[in-house]
Amino acid sequence: MRIISALALSFYLAVSAMAASQTVIKAARLIDGLGGTPLTPAMVRIDGDRIVEIGASVKIPVDAKVIDLGAATLLPGLIDLHTHLCGHYGTHWEDELIKTTPAYSALWGARNARVTLAAGYTSVRDMGTAWPYVDVELRNAINAGAVPGPRMFVAGAYVSSTGGAGDASQFSEYVHVPSVDNLADSPEEVVKQVRKNFKHGADFIKLLATGAILSKGQSPGAQQFSNEEILAAVTEANRWGRQVAVHAHGIGGIKTSIRAGVRTIDHGSYLDDEAIEMLKATNRKTFYVPTLYTSKIIERDGRANGVPESEIQRSKMISGIKDIGFKRALASGIPIGVGSDSAVIPHGENAQELVCRAELGESPMAAIVSTTSLNAEIMGWSDRVGSVTEGKLADLIAVAGDPLKDIKELTNVGFVMKGGEVFKNELTK
């Protein structure tokens, strides 16, 4: 008897919550994120945190809240596959380790998460922090509703080899840097780091396979993990049902990582035709995620931000090479994931990556599909986000104009809804 009445009560509560939480959004056009013909005009009905109905005309329930976005374009929330939300723009990550505490990363992380959400990014794959696992706590705080921010898919502590791109190299042998506990120098040690990351709440593994631009005295092209070490990371992560993203500039590290079965090749600066063919042959198992805007920012602001001259020069040299690789990939027709490497670029400027890609020949529609449904597919989140589809989470954004005419519209997002809740609306009076 008690069970029946409890059921009846919960049913009543569910029904009344549903009635109170319906929202209908109207806009001049809707781009679904899947590459379909835009719907004009468009209406989307949202119930709780889900999209339940889409059409040119949707019946408005009696109690529903109506948001009329006028001439705006509605799109799925944007996704960035390469952020460092806990990184403070302008502070070198190795300086954070000696001059700050994890609280610095956490507080700036909360601020950066808010700024990134306001820029229209409702999901991010976060590629690691100077202070390990601050990203795990930020993800949890956002999910608990303590601070606003995108849905986060986090790396925890990135895995590096000794002297590699993720090792803090500015310190002498005599300086103990306690937080740098992410080093691995054999397949066995890689497995240990992978397991440790999952134990402490990481969603996936970030491995630094080659040298980096923002690390002292390194050749970004050089492979730093052996073939066996990269394979060990993938095998172990897959055992957990999870994926590996590799930071790889050089072609050796890129090809070894594709062979090992990683999910993404991030940066991929020295991508060549053979690597593109190899990516194609994986049949959507491994993806290339270039980061093109970073070079422009390092050249523009690097000096003022105290980036060493050698790292600025290195970035300049790689910039041209990166652009050629991207154009080749684009011509080949392989899917190209989108990442900004924010913290290397100012948080909130993430969509400038799409502007760089457009300048190199990507169509606005392809850019939109890449940064929504393709990015969701790469993260394994296609069931939840990445397109305006009935049944998916109501992560929606809007821009004043038509991004198919000018992709720069996406750098000025005026409306953001995450999980059915309006976070920002500058489009309705």
Query: Least distance (Å) from Zn ion to the CB of residue 294?
Result: 8
94 interacts with Zn ion by CB under 5 A: no
Cis peptide before 41 (omega within 30 of 0): yes
H or E element that contains 205: strand 205-208
Sign of CA dihedral 199, 201, 203, 205: negative
Strand partners, 79: 123
- Considering the complex, state which of residue 153 and residue 415 has its C-beta at the smaller distance from Zn ion: 153
- Considering the complex, state which of residue 64 and residue 85 has its C-beta at the smaller distance from Zn ion: 85
* Token pair belonging to 66: 């109506």
Residue with tokens 């491995």: 207
**CA nearest to 103, candidates 85, 86, 125:** 86
**CA nearest to 278, candidates 259, 305, 302, 306:** 259
- Considering the complex, state which of residue 127 and residue 356 has its C-beta at the smaller distance from Zn ion: 127
* Token pair belonging to 28: 């001049």
Query: Least distance (Å) from Zn ion to the CB of residue 278?
Result: 23
Residue with tokens 């379909």: 36
**Contact pattern from residue 367 through residue 396 relative to Zn ion, giving x for each residue in contact according to CB under 5 A and a dash for the rest:** ------------------------------
**CA nearest to 97, candidates 81, 86, 113:** 86
Query: Least distance (Å) from Zn ion to the CB of residue 341?
Result: 4
- Considering the complex, state which of residue 106 and residue 345 has its C-beta at the smaller distance from Zn ion: 345
**Which range, of 37-45, 272-280, 293-301, 337-345, touches Zn ion by CB under 5 A?**
337-345
- Distance CA(187)–CA(191), nearest Å, equals 6
Query: Least distance (Å) from Zn ion to the CB of residue 83?
Result: 8
341 interacts with Zn ion by CB under 5 A: yes
- Considering the complex, state which of residue 75 and residue 130 has its C-beta at the smaller distance from Zn ion: 130
Query: Least distance (Å) from Zn ion to the CB of residue 213?
Result: 10
**Which range, of 16-24, 47-55, 111-119, 127-135, touches Zn ion by CB under 5 A?**
127-135
**Which range, of 28-36, 122-130, 354-362, 372-380, touches Zn ion by CB under 5 A?**
122-130
**Which range, of 125-133, 200-208, 315-323, 348-356, touches Zn ion by CB under 5 A?**
125-133
- Considering the complex, state which of residue 28 and residue 155 has its C-beta at the smaller distance from Zn ion: 155
Rounded (10°) angle between helices 187-199 and 227-239:
30
Residue 400 DSSP symbol: S
- Considering the complex, state which of residue 79 and residue 388 has its C-beta at the smaller distance from Zn ion: 79
Strand partners, 120: none
332 Cβ neighbours under 8 A, 6+ residues apart? 273, 276, 277, 280
Q: What single string gives the DSSP state of each residue in 286-352?
A: SEEE---HHHHHHHHHTTTTT--HHHHHHHHHHHHHHHHHHHHHHHHT--B-----BTTB-TT-TTH
- Considering the complex, state which of residue 127 and residue 385 has its C-beta at the smaller distance from Zn ion: 127
Query: Least distance (Å) from Zn ion to the CB of residue 377?
Result: 21
Query: Least distance (Å) from Zn ion to the CB of residue 291?
Result: 7
Q: Helix, strand, coil shares of the chain as percentages rounded to 5?
A: 35, 20, 45
H or E element that contains 392: none
For Zn ion, which residue has the nearest CB?
A: 341
409 interacts with Zn ion by CB under 5 A: no
Q: What single string gives the DSSP state of each residue in 88-123?
A: PTTS-HHHHHHH--HHHHHHHHHHHHHHHHHTTEEE
- Considering the complex, state which of residue 157 and residue 399 has its C-beta at the smaller distance from Zn ion: 157
Query: Least distance (Å) from Zn ion to the CB of residue 207?
Result: 12
Strand partners, 183: 160
Query: Least distance (Å) from Zn ion to the CB of residue 342?
Result: 9
- Residues numbered 13 to 52 that lie near Zn ion (CB under 5 A) are none
**Which range, of 19-27, 40-48, 119-127, 153-161, touches Zn ion by CB under 5 A?**
119-127
Query: Least distance (Å) from Zn ion to the CB of residue 127?
Result: 5
- Distance CA(406)–CA(363), nearest Å, equals 10
How many residues touch Zn ion under the rule CB under 5 A: the total is 2
* Token pair belonging to 251: 């072609």
**Which range, of 65-73, 120-128, 193-201, 268-276, touches Zn ion by CB under 5 A?**
120-128
- Considering the complex, state which of residue 86 and residue 127 has its C-beta at the smaller distance from Zn ion: 127
- Considering the complex, state which of residue 67 and residue 81 has its C-beta at the smaller distance from Zn ion: 81
Which parts of this chain interact with Zn ion (CB under 5 A)? 127, 341
